[in-house]
Copies of this chain bind each other. A is one copy, B any other.
Amino acid sequence: MVIVMEKGHTEAQRQAVIGILTEFNLKGHVSEGDTETLIGAVGDTKAAREYPFDSLPGVCSVLKISKPYKLANRKFHPDDTVIKVGDVHIGNGFLTIIAGPCAVESREQMLTIARAVKKAGAHMLRGGAFKPRTSPYSFQGLGEDGLRILADAREETGLPIVTEMTSPMQVDLMVKYVDVIQIGMRNMQNFELLKSAGRIGKPVLLKRHQSATIEEWLMSAEYIMSEGNDQVILCERGILTFDKEHNRNTLDISAVLAVKKVTHLPIIVDPSHACGRREDVPALSRAIVAVGAHGLEIEVHHDPDKALSDGPQSLYPEQFERLMRELNIISMAVEGGGRMLPQLMAEKAGEEIGIFQD
């Protein structure tokens, strides 16, 4: 339920609405848009549905929201959310590229890759210190040592860092070192983790589980948001299908379109995990930009044959650099599509590929 306030309503009128919501055990979440003020009723709204909110002074109308997600619902927040991480924007009007290795393996490895992706124009740096691996016998990440290395890479390159949180017990480490907290697909419905991550107050990048519907995914975003944190970045990374021979998962590019209709949160896509093979990443990345996503998360490694995880799907730095130029061109053909920053790159891209020449 969303209560739309009249233009020029008074603070007292607003407080009256919130007071009544409180009596129904609901939180009144105020969202001030460009043209109107909305009060979202957050909680179990069953009991309040019959109350005549629309006859209260200062109230313009009441929107019933049939979807179970409220804070994430575009009806409640019609304007696109654009998240800022330092100078980097994620959301409508921007095309944001997050790149880096699957796992932090060593200081040298991480700094080498950080410099390479920075040079190619990436906006944020990814790297895992806590690795959720299918096998207990696989490399499990460097832990806090890995976070320290990431912080050093940020120090040198200026790129904000994105890294995965896997347990509520890592809250202090996330507070200390990280810019964007990633929730991996296997933990998408680890609700205790979502609540812990939400309370930290930093942007959260929430991967879609391979078997999650759009609605289940947004309900997980709602868990984070219900802790008072509106900064959620959605990330599609491939869904489960019957054909696993050619791709680990099937990249669901139409999810980008579905998500943009029903939520105001930004949506990016990770092509590396969907296909699981380097050779397919550039073509899928072009398609992701063409369909209108707000960004990509791509795995890059300077020496993938020796990578401790996900080597086969990591791009070489020079592939990544070339891909960045292709993406820039495609973004220009997308109506309302995002632009990469710095814009300088666009010109350079045309020049090198040679298609803008007479």
Contacts and interface: CB of A to CB of B under 8 A. Distances in A.
A326 interface: yes
Q: Which of A286, A287, A356 has its CB near the most chain B CB atoms (within 10 A)? A: A287
A168 B166 contact: no
Contact of A44 (B138, B252, B284): B138
Nearest to A187: B190
A163 B279 CA distance: 35
Contacts of A215: 245
Interface residues on chain A, size class:
35 or more
How many copies of this protein are present in the complex? Answer: 4
A254 interface: yes
A214 B284 CA distance: 18
9 contacts: A44-B137, A134-B216, A166-B191, A167-B168, A187-B189, A210-B211, A241-B242, A242-B242, A283-B290
Interface in A274-326: 274-275, 279-280, 283-284, 286-292, 326
A83 interface: no
Interface in A74-108: none
A134 to B, nearest CB: 5
B209 A192 contact: no
A43 interface: yes
Most buried by B among A286, A288, A326: A286
Contacts of A193: 190
Nearest to A224: B136
B334 A355 contact: no
A12 interface: no
B169 A135 contact: no
A191 B135 CA distance: 9
A19 interface: no
Contacts of A333: 286, 326, 329-330, 333, 353, 355
